[in-house]
Amino acid sequence: MTSTRENGLPSKEAGLFKQIVKHYETKQYKKGIKAADTVLKKFPDHGETLSMKGLILNCVDRKAEAYELVRKGVKMDIKSHVCWHVYGLLYRSDREYLQAIKCYRGALRHDPDNMQILRDLSMLQVQMRDLEGFVQTRQHLLTLKPTNKNNWFTFAVAAHLMNRYDKAVNIVKAHEDTLEGTPENDYEHSEMLLYKNMLLEEDGQLQEALDHLESCEKDIVDRLFWLEKRAQLLRQLNRHADAEPLYRQLLKRNPEHVGYHAGLQACVLGAGRAIENWMPEEVDEATEAKLKVLYAELQHHHPKSTVCRRLPLDFARDGAHFRIACKTYILPPLRKGVPSLFADLKPLYRSKPKAEVLGAILEEWLKSLEADGKLPGESRHEMPTVIMWVRALLAQHYDQVGESARALAQIDLAIQHTPTLLDLYMLKARMYKHAGALLQASECMNLARQMDLADRYINTKATRYMLRANQVDEAQKTIALFTKDGDQKSNLFDMQCMWYELEIGQAYCRLARTDASHYGRALKQFTSVDKHFTDIIEDQFDFHTYCIRKMTLRAYVNMLRMEDTVHGHAYYVRAAMGAIEVYIALVDKPKQDAAAAAAADESQMSAGERKKLESKKRKAEAKAKAEAEEAKAKAAVAAKAEKGAKGNKGKPDKPVDEDPEGAALASVDDPLEKASVFLRTLQQHAPKNLRTHTLACALALRKKRYLLALRALRRAVALAPADPDVHTATVEFLLEMDKEAAILPPTIARVLEANRAAIGAPPGKSLEELNKAFLLKAEGAPAAVLAAAALQLQIAPAQKDAAKALVTSLDPSKLSLALAVRAHTLLATSFGDAAAAEAFGAKVRARYPLADYFQPPEVLSQGIQDGKGASE
């Protein structure tokens, strides 16, 4: 379309211009630049040539020049769609999609029917999920060129994404009607039909979907999917008798598919819902009886299937039935020696009676084996390994029900039996971990690692356990044993190794409580995880065209939906919450330090001493800052040197990490703003997570955005009104409000009054009453008692002793380790009563004798040294 007259070049230069475009397309960038220079010599202000030259420079990594040229090009020829398009392409290559969309719109103003630009625009719109814009652009493209199949299907997907199922079905139908004779490509035709079926099903038209599926049986290539879908639709339409044989047929293909089992069960029970994991309370007697018969039959038909033996454990409610089912399921892998057996039994511990039966069975077996080497009721002698595996299982059982001492004793016996089996050491390490002995756990896991240095799994485990014990240096050395040689530092980042980044980030967070310089390192790790998720979002871009062309529409739509919710993934949530906490700590820390200094000042320090201390502190701060700068400069120099070295070898350059220690991240001016960015993503993608809202409240209070805090509280209360954290957040919010009451703008005060009831604090009810009511309702639940006690101290400092009595009266044997730690810290810090804390700690020590936290300091330091000795 760029004819000579349009872009204002005489024919010779116009020819050259066409060549530039061609060179660009064939990636002959040098030739392209040369041709562009020739044109520009004669017409230095020719906009489209300037733009094209810029675009080519962008490809050879001369970004700054590229932007300059392209901007100049647009300025010179502001009415040229070519210039605008190039500008958009430039932004797109830098992933600045919103800017790129603006540029494309600029281009379309001058050439509204340019299909190339419309297509580019539509891809950015779907990437940015501007779905309305996407529909419009695709509709435009379809009317421009209705003969192109891809235009039809992209438009259908666009309607689908807007949940306009009828529209989407119509579009597919319209295309279908034009097809004549046999389809050219079986697979694509089949995919198209299945996509239509997906639309019908999602629209809730199950009967139509079933009819459609049955009518196109012979055209579907994916036979398995066809069977599965038909069985599912029949079941959902309550045609259980028709669905049952299909599920049995599917089970014949794959008897280990839990979904097929759930489907078959629903058919046999005549239930509307297929349940993969039965909860004990969901099963009634009639259900159990029916399923029992079914599984006796299935076990007979599929004697090798593990799932057929495992599922009865879930739905068995009768003790005797459960016992038999246990034996049937556990014995074969026990005799075989399957180390992961317990992992498959663990879900059963949700039911206490089942846990008890399991323990009783294992104890019985062990007794019988100890006595005569036989299992109860069996005549043959078991292999010698069986008793060892029974001990391992029993140890894990004790561990699971919280009896660490018995667990460790049992696992030690197993280790005595076979000291060379590293799985046992791994189990022992886990038991230490559950007992709160993180250092011993790490040591034990490292011992296991040394038994098989070629095993990546155990190496990973050992690293993780070291990080849990805050042994960061050891962990880094250990994980490096399995990273690529030469670039250990960036390798884990490049491999998007998120579990590691999260664990080390959290380890730094713990270390930062005593040494604030670790906050930067923690932030560094959390932002790395954030970057991985940005990349995951980014990665979908190429599929917008690819999937349509390949007609994998079902997979494409599912992929888009997955990307829409990917930030709700547990890894992202952990990273974002970690980052928010660090930012909050960075804000709180100086305040806390100042408060501590003031307290010390009041008590004893003279003015001279205080001055000395302050100047010392300032010096230290200045020194830290200088060190950070120096490190940065050093890193830059090192990076440059590296770059040079690499350049010599002709390897592609890697972007240099200018802040490897995260010092710059930790010294931002507006930590709360940075935290808010993470928070907004969480609010959008993890709204069901309570901590999202309690963190939102904490953040908003620090920003003095009281209405945002109020909104966060309302959301939290809606999720879990009786949660201690929510109660704490509510009371702390109200305390702050009381303090600010005098200076609160009247509008805000009115909104606050109107919403008090919604956060469980109706006007007129004092905070003390509120706290008392909460305590009463909690009926002694330890977490609630702790929260109430801590708040009591804040609400009425005068009644300190009553609040303290709440804590000290807690029964340590009923506390989880984490709560015991919290109670102890509360006594030691908030109440400032070292004696009470020590007395309480002694009681807890009796319950958790191994826990690091409650060890006297000298024992712990001894333990650390031992640990180091062992790891070397």
User: Smallest distance from the beta carbon of 650 to another protein, in angstroms?
Assistant: 17
User: Smallest distance from the beta carbon of 170 to another protein, in angstroms?
Assistant: 5
Q: Which is nearer to another protein, 32 or 436 (CB)?
A: 32
User: Mask: binding to another protein, 547-586, rule CB under 8 A, as x and -?
Assistant: -xxx------------------------------------
Which of 103, 121, 142, 298 touches another protein by CB under 8 A? Answer: 142
User: Smallest distance from the beta carbon of 189 to another protein, in angstroms?
Assistant: 10
Q: Which is nearer to another protein, 229 or 674 (CB)?
A: 674
CA 815 to chain centre: 29
Give the Å distances, CA to CA, from 176 to 140, 433, 549. 20, 61, 17
Q: Which is nearer to another protein, 151 or 792 (CB)?
A: 151
> Whose CA is closest to 476, among 468, 488, 487?
488
User: Smallest distance from the beta carbon of 166 to another protein, in angstroms?
Assistant: 9
Q: Which is nearer to another protein, 377 or 745 (CB)?
A: 745
Count of residues in contact with another protein, rule CB under 8 A: 73
> Whose CA is closest to 40, among 60, 22, 20, 59?
20
Q: Which is nearer to another protein, 92 or 521 (CB)?
A: 92
**Taking a C-beta distance cutoff of 8 angstroms, is the pair 768, 796 a contact?**
yes
Token digits of residue 531? 């970057």
User: Mask: binding to another protein, 691-720, rule CB under 8 A, as x and -?
Assistant: --------------xxxx-xx--x------
Q: Which is nearer to another protein, 148 or 862 (CB)?
A: 148
User: Smallest distance from the beta carbon of 539 to another protein, in angstroms?
Assistant: 5
The stretch near another protein (CB under 8 A) out of 117-125, 194-202, 606-614, 810-818 is 117-125
User: Mask: binding to another protein, 511-550, rule CB under 8 A, as x and -?
Assistant: ---------------------------xxxxxx-xx-xxx
Three-state SS for 650? coil
The stretch near another protein (CB under 8 A) out of 16-24, 423-431, 520-528, 580-588 is 16-24
Q: Which is nearer to another protein, 85 or 449 (CB)?
A: 85
**Taking a C-beta distance cutoff of 8 angstroms, is the pair 683, 696 a contact?**
yes
Token digits of residue 294? 């079914």
The stretch near another protein (CB under 8 A) out of 141-149, 233-241, 408-416, 861-869 is 141-149
Which of 66, 101, 106, 114 touches another protein by CB under 8 A? Answer: 114
Which of 109, 116, 409, 722 touches another protein by CB under 8 A? Answer: 116
Q: Where are the alpha helices (DSSP H) in 43-114?
A: 47-59, 63-76, 81-93, 97-110
Q: Which is nearer to another protein, 614 or 673 (CB)?
A: 673
The stretch near another protein (CB under 8 A) out of 17-25, 276-284, 561-569, 842-850 is 17-25
Which of 236, 404, 676, 728 touches another protein by CB under 8 A? Answer: 676
Which of 750, 772, 777, 868 touches another protein by CB under 8 A? Answer: 750
| Cβ burial, residue 826 (10 Å; 0-12/13-18/19+) | buried
Q: Which long-range contacts (CB under 8 A, 24 or more apart) does 730-735 make?
A: 730/759, 730/760, 730/761, 730/770, 731/767, 731/770, 731/771, 731/791, 731/794, 731/795, 732/701, 732/791, 732/794, 733/697, 733/701, 733/706, 733/709, 733/759, 734/761, 734/767, 734/770, 735/767, 735/794, 735/795
Which of 4, 18, 422, 808 touches another protein by CB under 8 A? Answer: 18
Q: Which is nearer to another protein, 72 or 756 (CB)?
A: 756
Q: Which is nearer to another protein, 89 or 395 (CB)?
A: 89
Q: Which is nearer to another protein, 180 or 858 (CB)?
A: 180
Residue type, position 297, single letter? E
User: Smallest distance from the beta carbon of 95 to another protein, in angstroms?
Assistant: 9
Give the footprint of another protein on residues 851-870 (CB under 8 A).
none
User: Mask: binding to another protein, 146-185, rule CB under 8 A, as x and -?
Assistant: xxxxxxx--------------x--xx-xxx-xxxx---xx
Tokens 């292999």 correspond to 383
| Cβ burial, residue 56 (10 Å; 0-12/13-18/19+) | buried
**Taking a C-beta distance cutoff of 8 angstroms, is the pair 511, 472 a contact?**
yes
Tokens 């790790």 correspond to 525
Q: Which is nearer to another protein, 363 or 563 (CB)?
A: 563
Give the footprint of another protein on residues 174-233 (CB under 8 A).
174-175, 177-180, 184-185, 188
Q: Which is nearer to another protein, 174 or 859 (CB)?
A: 174
User: Smallest distance from the beta carbon of 570 to another protein, in angstroms?
Assistant: 23
State the Cα–Cα distance between residues 406 and 348, nearest whole angstrom: 20
> Whose CA is closest to 727, among 796, 783, 646, 650?
783
State the Cα–Cα distance between residues 823 and 283, nearest whole angstrom: 39
User: Smallest distance from the beta carbon of 473 to another protein, in angstroms?
Assistant: 34
State the Cα–Cα distance between residues 50 and 69, nearest whole angstrom: 6
Give the footprint of another protein on residues 118-137 (CB under 8 A).
119-120, 123
State the Cα–Cα distance between residues 618 and 597, nearest whole angstrom: 14
Give the footprint of another protein on residues 313-372 (CB under 8 A).
none
Give the footprint of another protein on residues 388-447 (CB under 8 A).
none
User: Smallest distance from the beta carbon of 580 to another protein, in angstroms?
Assistant: 15
- Residue 117 in contact with another protein, rule: CB under 8 A: yes
Which of 638, 751, 818, 846 touches another protein by CB under 8 A? Answer: 751
Q: Which is nearer to another protein, 708 or 735 (CB)?
A: 708
**Taking a C-beta distance cutoff of 8 angstroms, is the pair 188, 551 a contact?**
yes
User: Smallest distance from the beta carbon of 676 to another protein, in angstroms?
Assistant: 7
DSSP 167-232: HHHHHHHHHHHT--SS-S-HHHHHHHHHHHHHHHHHTT-HHHHHHHHHHTGGG-S-HHHHHHHHHH
User: Smallest distance from the beta carbon of 766 to another protein, in angstroms?
Assistant: 23
Torsion of CA 792, 796, 798, 802, to 10 degrees: -30
Q: Which is nearer to another protein, 6 or 487 (CB)?
A: 6
User: Mask: binding to another protein, 26-55, rule CB under 8 A, as x and -?
Assistant: xx---------------------------x
- Residue 458's contacts (CB-CB under 8 Å, 6 or more residues apart) are 422, 426, 445, 448, 449, 451, 452
**Taking a C-beta distance cutoff of 8 angstroms, is the pair 21, 116 a contact?**
no
**Taking a C-beta distance cutoff of 8 angstroms, is the pair 663, 523 a contact?**
no
User: Smallest distance from the beta carbon of 725 to another protein, in angstroms?
Assistant: 20
Q: Which is nearer to another protein, 608 or 655 (CB)?
A: 655
State the Cα–Cα distance between residues 577 and 821, nearest whole angstrom: 21
Q: Which is nearer to another protein, 192 or 291 (CB)?
A: 192
SS (H, E, C) 369-409: HHHHCCCCCCCCCCCHHHHHHHHHHHHHHHHHCCCHHHHHH
**Taking a C-beta distance cutoff of 8 angstroms, is the pair 462, 478 a contact?**
yes
User: Smallest distance from the beta carbon of 706 to another protein, in angstroms?
Assistant: 8
Which of 139, 238, 488, 491 touches another protein by CB under 8 A? Answer: 139
Q: Which is nearer to another protein, 311 or 560 (CB)?
A: 560
Give the Å distances, CA to CA, from 596 to 224, 601, 645, 793, 797. 68, 8, 50, 18, 18
State the Cα–Cα distance between residues 403 and 381, nearest whole angstrom: 31
Give the Å distances, CA to CA, from 163 to 168, 438, 635. 9, 51, 51
